[in-house]
Amino acid sequence: MAILDKVNYPEDLKKLSIYELRQLSEEIRDYIKRVVGEEGGHLASNLGVVELTISLLYTLNPPEDKIMFDVGHQCYTYKILTGRKEQFPKIRKSNGISGFIAPDESEYDLFYVGHASNSLSLVLGLATSRDLKGEKYKIVDVIGDGALTGGEAWEALNNLGHLKKDVMIVLNDNEMSIAKNVGAISSYFSKLRAQKPYRNAVKSINEKLSKRGKLGKSVVDFLEKTKLILKQAIIPGMLFEELGILYFGPFDGHNIPLLIEVFSIIKDLDVPRIVHVITKKGKGLSFAEENPEVYHSSPAFLKEIKKKKTFSKVFGEEMVKIGEKRKDVVAITAAMELGTGLKDFKERFPERFFDVGIAEQHAVSFASGLSKGGTIPVVAIYSTFLQRALDQIILDVGLQKNKVIFAVDRAGLVPGDGPTHQGIFDLSYFSFFEDFILMSPKDGNELSLMLDFALQTKNTCVIRYPKDSADNLPINTDLTPYRAEVLSEGDDLLIISLGKMSYYAYNILESLHKEGIYPMVLNMRFANPLDIDTVLKYARKTKRVLIVEDHFKFGGIGIRIKPILMDISGIKIKHLAVSETYPPVGTREELLKRYKLDEKGIKEECERIVGKKVST
């Protein structure tokens, strides 16, 4: 009988021997590989934290004790061991479980998470509330070294050290150097750790460990052996100590007995402390270990999947062509080199490629500075992450009038990752700026045209595109600045669409024609400025209008077009858009269907508007 078969909740772990815990870790790792291999998901990060998660759940008493994961995509083992083992094969699916921490699923999940660097702020607030109420539970935050490139994490660490709250931080270091990430800041703290609180804490822990027999002594020996390493690479520990946070480690993040012993002692301290563990991303799967970035968000690898060229791929190819022609163009991303398609640009033009880490605010301000100096920065960031830099967009780009090209990837409905990763708000805040040019391509050819136009204009440009195929339509007219493209002539109704929605609208024409419905299809291309003259011309002719956009219903093009059309006598308007602020987990196809933004939904709405019987 497999060990995993008899483990459902954390209390079941406490009945197992160390040998059984080790066996369990391998069974969980195999389970993760099997499920992700069949369906895709976050692979490398989850394979790297199996033993760490088991050790935390063994040592603590959740859900009374609170365990937090920054970002949350490394939660698969946690979910398997907190009552969701049987549901795990449906992770990241509609009506399944989220691939991130989600409190609506389980009392073991603390906060909705999906973005990086905010967990320390959340748990510090929770710890402060706990102390004000006189409660006694423990709080642990698991945060990766990559997340420590985000400024909010350091704001929280500074405040945590000042408030001196009982919070244990587990720094999951998967061999992405902390010293490199903090850069010049860390060099300031190059002196040895000599503070009295540190010396007292280490002395106390050494004494307690020594009393625990052979295993405790081995931990003490391990700490002694790492002293030289710590003195040579003392910067991470020094930085935390200067902030008032006790630092312990580094420890082997795959050694279960070692972790249990360390956590069982350090958890009982009542001051801010950080336990530094070293893990291996992709552990147990050779190709994931060798290419952790490729298998961060992994496609299914146990079955063959037909690959299509995506908008991200087209963008990446075009950027290389642009880089060869224009020496003044630079590319910026925030820890998403591969996902945004910029890997080839980096390899071809390393001196003009900048990965700033998980620091979107800095990325935008950095781009403005580059622009001021005479270069043309192209900032490629996912829509959901770019919203973290709204203040910098407003003040450092908009107010300064410094030209930046924003390549907004994963715009619209995003598959698999649920409510924290949807890109449905970008048009809302970019529409603040009268002089920003907002565009969205229907296909790969149009994306290329828009990038070329963005280089030529003096204005800041925003090009938004989804995580979807960039298959080209047979129609490909020149890009006329600020004018919509007519994809089809017709008198029965006007379809006003933006981006990939225009692709879908074009694809339903043949079936509508068979039913005797002949729509005018208007591919807007530009969300700002809007081609209102063309919209009014055809809306007055048809008197029936369907607006289709892959964006939240408030803030997109529909909310701006409808009031203008209302002055037309007898006008009938229908607006298809995302109607929920937080769309659930699902494939892109499932999400599009949910909001009637797929081809079938658009076609049925056309039939309703013209009064035809809706086909089934």
Catalytic residues: 281, 360, 388
CB 535 within 8 A of CB 508: no
Where helices occur in 439-579 by DSSP H, the ranges are 444-456, 500-507, 509-514, 532-542, 558-565
The number of beta carbons lying within 10 Å of the beta carbon of residue 37 is 17
Q: Which of 580, 581, 578, 606 is nearest to 592 (CA)?
A: 578
* Run of H or E including 294: none
Distance CA 586, CA 417 (A): 8
Distance CA 92, CA 415 (A): 8
Which amino acid, 509?
L
Distance CA 266, CA 55 (A): 13
List the Cα angle 161/164/167 in 5-degree steps. 90
> Which neighbouring-strand residues pair with 170?
142, 275
The number of beta carbons lying within 10 Å of the beta carbon of residue 15 is 9
- Strands 353-355 and 329-333, bridge-based pairing: parallel
Residue in the structure block whose two tokens are 């009014």: 536
Distance CA 81, CA 10 (A): 6
CB 443 within 8 A of CB 507: no
Residue in the structure block whose two tokens are 């949910």: 594
Q: Which of 64, 106, 81 is nearest to 10 (CA)?
A: 81
Instruction: Report the 3 state secondary structure along 127-184.
Output: HHHHHHCCCCCCEEEEEECCHHHCHHHHHHHHHHHHHCCCCEEEEEECCCCHHHHHCH
Reduce the DSSP state of residue 520 to 3 states and report it: strand
Q: Which of 396, 434, 412 is nearest to 501 (CA)?
A: 412
Q: How far is CA 114 from CA 111, 404, 417, in A?
A: 10, 27, 8
Which residues have C-beta within 8 Å of that of residue 235, sequence separation ≥ 6?
178, 179, 182, 186, 187, 189, 190
Residue in the structure block whose two tokens are 């045209």: 449
For residue 386, what are its two tokens? 């770019």
284-304 burial: b if 16+ Cβ within 10 Å, else e: bbeebbeebebbbbbeebeee
Q: Which of 203, 205, 276, 194 is nearest to 242 (CA)?
A: 194
Distance CA 476, CA 469 (A): 17
251-268 burial: b if 16+ Cβ within 10 Å, else e: bbbbbbbbbbbbbbbbbe
CB 382 within 8 A of CB 420: no
